[in-house]
Amino acid sequence: MFSLFKKKSLLSAAENAAVVQAIREAELATSGEVRVFIESRNPLVDTLERARAIFFEEKMFETAARNGVLIYIALKDKEVAIFGDEGIHQAVGAEFWNQQIKQMLPLFKQNSLAVGLCNCIQTVGDVLKEKFPYQEGQDKNELPDDIIFGR
């Protein structure tokens, strides 16, 4: 069965393009990978567990240096989590991820989802660049840059 009603987009085309561009720019100087997953509701109880589940469903653990980062958002539940693979998590620790969430929340409350995401992606990209710098001839884009939209 299909719906006759068009589903409202979570981001405008321009906002979507800005977030994807932020991901591409963040990944230019690093072997690290950043993905964004946005859905309406979190079907699980724990936000970080949902982010972890998506991380593994999307096979983000398959990066060579284990330096993939997933930014997860459940809009209607007003939940945000960041899950970093073991390589980057060991380098920055849980407090780094918590700080990034704290910086995004005020922008989300102002309905500036794309701005909050872009700022977070840039900061995560800077840390990935520092911890996992790009290596000429060895690095490749291991994961797609597009935003994943759930239900």
pLDDT for 44-100, tens place per residue?
879 999 999 999 999 999 998 999 999 999 999 999 999 999 999 999 999 999 999
Determine, yes or no, domain membership for 1.
no
pTM: 0.91
pLDDT at 45: 79
Q: Which of 66, 53, 56 is nearest to 128 (CA)?
A: 66
Q: Other CB atoms closer than 10 Å to residue 66's CB: what's the count?
A: 17
Residue 77's contacts (CB-CB under 8 Å, 6 or more residues apart) are 41, 42, 47
Q: What CATH number should be reported for the domain holding residue 110?
A: 3.10.310.50
Residue 53's contacts (CB-CB under 8 Å, 6 or more residues apart) are 44
Residues listed for the chain: 151
Q: Other CB atoms closer than 10 Å to residue 29's CB: what's the count?
A: 16
Determine, yes or no, domain membership for 5.
no
Determine, yes or no, domain membership for 67.
yes
